Amino acid sequence: MAVEIQPLLKPSRLRRRAGLLGECIAEFLGTFVLISFGCGVVAMTVAALPGSGRTEGPTTFFLSAGDWLLITWGWAMAVILGIYVAGGVSGAHINPAVTLAFAVRRKFPWIKVIPYWVSQVLGALAGAALVLGVYHDAIDAFDAASKGPKTGGHTLATFSIFATFPAPYFHGGIWGPLIDQVVGTAFLVMLVVAIIDLRNTAVKANLGPLVIGFVVAAIGMSYGANAGYAINPARDFGPRLLTWFAGWKDLAFSGSLSGAFSAYWWIPIVGPLVGGVIGVLVYDLFIGDVLHVRAQEGELPEPGRTRPTTSDDE
């Protein structure tokens, strides 16, 4: 808006938020928006639509592979909105893997890493709490109507609204889901740094968040089913904390379901942190270093050419 907007707080109090505190508040709110809409779309798919009579039955969802698009595009829009909310203050990492990768290769101050992480996890926890509050009745109705195994009266399906777990074809193994999280997050960070790199074909006119949302949608469509494509430690850990307090117990911590998987909780944390660093290193090795050398030499050749064009007179 062009008009000047007066601050809500007194200038003396507002100055305290000009630095790291303000950035942490922005990360909290951005991650809160991310989870509110991301977990919200899963709650719609799993519990609200079936319970409201809009599917074939009170526990019927995912009748076709195309239904997965509702969740992938929902999470994409959640990322877009979260970045637009926080981007101008904190850079909208809203993901500990992004924060770590930027500290390793983008000169993000290491002293800010832990405060950002804490803010992101708390924002994710608050967002999940909002989703649980709004969809509490739908979740209870779904769990009551379900006949499958239950933990504390809750099902694995309603747990999936908030946190992730591996597909049955991994047979409880850790390497498949761990590699999945490393790969998914490596793609996420590699593409994020490509999109915001002004030396490259950077997105202009503040469309970066939109394109990053497309990246998240693409990862969900291409790699989502293996382990729920957390690709964000705060996105999984914050809501997982909530489910533990709310009664999902062993499904949350230690992340176990008898005969299916056990002690899974750490994989959506470690995998993305490792994958994020790999992603930024891969981009810099293959693309960033080339752009750096060209900038030093003052050469800006047309993409696809090895050297600047010259005229016949030269």
Q: State residue 314's pLDDT score.
A: 46
So what's the pLDDT on residue 302? 64
Closest CA to 145 of 62, 153, 298: 153
DSSP 110: G
- Give strand pairing partners of 209: none
- Main-chain phi, psi angles of 299, to 5 degrees: -100, 125
What integer is the mean pLDDT of 148-162? 95
Of the two residues 63 and 115, the one the predictor is more confident about is: 115
**How far apart are alpha carbons 132 and 79 in whole angstroms?**
19
Percentage of the chain surpassing pLDDT 70?
Answer: 93
Q: Which of 58-62, 118-122, 301-305 has the lowest mean pLDDT?
A: 301-305
pLDDT of residue 56: 83
Question: Rounded CA gap, 168 and 35, in Å?
Answer: 25
- Asked whether residue 125 carries a pLDDT value surpassing 60, the answer given is yes
Q: Residue 165 has what pLDDT? A: 97
**Torsion sign (Cα): 274, 279, 284, 286:** positive
Cα–Cα nearest to 232, from 62, 42, 39: 39
Which of these ranges, 166-175, 212-221, 279-288, 294-303, has the smallest mean pLDDT? 294-303
**Which residues on neighbouring strands pair with residue 151, listed in sequence order?**
154
CATH 1.20.1080.10 fits 18-293, yes or no: yes
Inter-residue contact 177 to 185 (CB < 8 Å): no
Q: Rounded CA gap, 175 and 179, in Å?
A: 6
Reported pTM: 0.93
- Report, as an integer, the average pLDDT of 226-247: 98
Q: Cα separation of 102 and 80, whole Å?
A: 19
CA distances from 135 to 38, 67, 164, 188, 244 (A): 13, 20, 18, 29, 17
Q: Which H helix or E strand runs over 158?
A: helix 156-159
Contact 195, 39 (CB under 8 A): no
| pLDDT at 306 > cutoff 70 | no
CB 80 within 8 A of CB 172: no
**How much is the average pLDDT of 263-276?**
98
Residue 271 DSSP one-character state: H
Other beta carbons within 10 angstroms of residue 7's beta carbon come to 9
Quick check: 312 pLDDT over 70?
no
Q: Across residues 197-226, what is the average pLDDT?
A: 94
* Whole-number pLDDT of residue 158: 97
- Amino acid identity for residue 192 in this structure: V
pLDDT at 242 over 90: yes
Quick: pLDDT tens for 48-83: 999 999 888 889 988 888 889 999 999 999 999 999
Q: How many residues does the chain have?
A: 314
φ, ψ for residue 154, nearest 5 deg? -110, 155
Least reliable range by pLDDT among 50-54, 107-111, 177-181, 242-246? 50-54
What are the extents of the domains in the chain? 18-293
Question: For position 303, what pLDDT does the model report?
Answer: 64
Tokens of 68: 């997965």
What are φ and ψ of residue 130, in 5° steps? Answer: -65, -45
Residue 86, both tokens:
């926080």
> Chain-wide mean pLDDT for the chain?
92
